[in-house]
Structure 1
Amino acid sequence: MKDLIKKIHKLDDVKIQKEAKLMAPLTLAYMGDAIFEAYIRNYLITKGDSLVKALHKNAILYVKAKAQAEIVHELEKQLTEEEWGIVKKGRNQKPSSSPKNADMIDYKYATGFESLLGYLFYDGKIERLIEIMEKSVEIINEKNNN
């Protein structure tokens, strides 16, 4: 998965890395959402799940707003000041839509979490991005006893 993320993000693209700090938090969240979804789907497939219905049901446990809010709260003390600042910027954005299956506070923290993932991706911090996603899986697995 790490190699795929590196291929998608051309690490030699310094311009994007410089612009990462200036990107809108919701733009970062848009990419962070896609990266996390792909990471979770790959995790579940490599874990052995094969039926699409089961894959989808299990993926929701990780990618729903409530789970992402739990992840970001659990990780807060492990994040750098810069990383937590990105989470807060994402959290404080006015959502473009209202959440369907989550309360607004969880939705905002989930947006902050996704903003952080998008930021790490565009800033070229791929190792840190993978580390946070791995810890995220551990957090949700512990909560769900998987």
Structure 2
Amino acid sequence: MNEKVSALMDNELPAEQWPEVLDALKREPLLQQQWHDWHVSRDALQGQAGCSADFMRRFSARLAAEPVVIAPQRKQAFGAKRWLVPMTAAASVAFVGLAVWQFNFVPSSSTQPQQLAAVVTPAAQHKQVDAAEVRAYLAAHRDGVANPMGADHLARVSFEVGEQR
């Protein structure tokens, strides 16, 4: 057993044998004394200051005499942290609901030209519009990237009051 204790002290003992040697060290006072003596000898050879033989007993007694401090329970912060998760969940549900509602119930901007003509108010029918100027503007901007009035969507525009095609 002395060889195994020496190998453990030099960190050369295989890990699977550690429990056996440590159990023997716990049970046998002679092995404990050898363990202590070998460490004192090694420390003296390396020039390190040694501890007294009574050090561990005194240290354990002082540690046992230390008062146990039980930390008070942390107060909950009122407001942001307590409501953060429920509010983000509610915001997510509201966003998804709004997106579904817009997709299903709000008419898209790509309405047909016949529907656009039906929306004209009587006040707008009396305005004078220069048709050539509007046609030139639409022709210049027809091929825009995000232009809803692009070539595919603009079939026919009439500037005549009362005429529908």
TM-score band w.r.t. shorter chain: under 0.3
Which one has the bigger helix percentage?
A: 1
Please report the TM-score for the alignment, with normalisation by the length of structure 2: 0.25
| TM-score (structure 1 length as normaliser) | 0.28
